[in-house]
Amino acid sequence: MIQVCYICWKTYGEKEPLNDKSHTHGICEACFPGEMEKIDKIKKERAARRCERDCPPGGESLLELKAEVDPVTDDKEGRGSGEL
């Protein structure tokens, strides 16, 4: 599978199965640091906004975010649909 960065759309590698040429989206090394900074900022903003409202004790918003930004995300929906 071809690994495509979802930010700059560059191909940055391949992963098994190598004969499957469908795309899988992730984040390349070049974009990773900037993205982490951005996410950190969003996290803080969200936490602050949430806190203004009712200040929940748990970190559920952070868990949500963590799921959203998993750097290696398989794009199963795009499978077989060709170019994006």
For binding to Zn ion (CB under 5 A), which residues are involved? Answer: 5, 7-8, 28, 31
Please say which residue, 10 or 66, places its beta carbon nearer to Zn ion: 10
Instruction: Name which of 23, 27, 3 is nearest 13 in CA terms.
Output: 3
Q: How far is the CB of 70 from Zn ion (least distance, A)?
A: 15
Q: Which residues contact 77 (CB under 8 A, 6 or more apart)?
A: none
In 3D, which of 2, 36, 38 has the Cα closest to residue 19?
A: 2
Question: Smallest gap, in angstroms, from Cβ of residue 21 to Zn ion?
Answer: 20
Tell me the closest approach of the beta carbon of residue 12 to Zn ion, in angstroms: 7
